Structure 1
Amino acid sequence: MRAVMETTWGEAPVSRALMSLTKADVSRGRRIADFFSGAGERVEAGDGEFLFIVLDCLEDRPRPRGTIADAFRECDGPGFLKMAMNIRYAEGLLSTETRVYATDDRTRRRFRTYWLVIRAASGLTRRSMLRAIRRRALGRASAA
């Protein structure tokens, strides 16, 4: 799990190239986990697992006050997307999964359209990140 926290965008060139299209700060030396923590909040989910959570509102209104974790649990009004991405290491397997919950039908339809556009690139990004983390964990990290 230390490799998860230490791997940089420079070690995952495919991920870095795709994420740079979003104008995100994916500089070579920036750690991938810091990027996700900056977009949301990292929660320790137990042995061998980190959970990154994000709450986004597609409507023109502010996110509820408090931590993202508090707002994530309490927010159920229309227009919100609750997103959680984990990185898990168990039984020799490193994996990641993202779950998205839209609080109403309109938001769900809007997200579905977005997902159709980015789905393939998202899969490539994840595979590139997981390969980079694996290389680092095995002591074969490329120079960042």
Structure 2
Amino acid sequence: MIVVGGARVVHRPQQAGWDRNRDDALDQLRAELERGGLSGARPQSPALVPQPAVSLAVLQLLDGTLVGMLSCSEEAGVATIGRGRDATIRVHDPYVSRLHATVRWDAEGGTHILLDHGAQNGTYVNGRRITGPTRMLDGARIRMGTTELLYIRQFD
């Protein structure tokens, strides 16, 4: 359990694709790429250079404390955020609902989608209360109750 600014925050991985240790997750992704023969592969022409792919994203407190890791695959399922025992990412904040919000990967949009579950105190992204599914951009600030999280993408 982590206590920051009076709020206790716990990450409890429950689904495939979720890992508490960022370095292990990155090593795991690199190993998968190498097994697929992609390590060191280079395009023949600069015109064929692909854009960097998002390999995973992290949620962290503003002080840099890691709260959760988000997989960038639809197979990994969704992550729930809240103070309840059933939340994938638990935030011990009295102003956060038991099941406050859900985060899922959107392959078409190439980003995570955040959805508030009608929490009384709302969910805010970059200072604005969200009212529907919201695409997450790198560096987005997410506020639930008194807890503020930073969404950071990790690129290959």
With the length of structure 1 as denominator, give the TM-score of the two structures.
0.35
Greater RCO, 1 or 2 (C-alpha within 8 Å, sep 6+): 1
Kindly indicate which of the two structures has a greater share of residues assigned to helix: 1
Kindly indicate which of the two structures has a greater share of residues assigned to strand: 2
With the length of structure 2 as denominator, give the TM-score of the two structures.
0.33
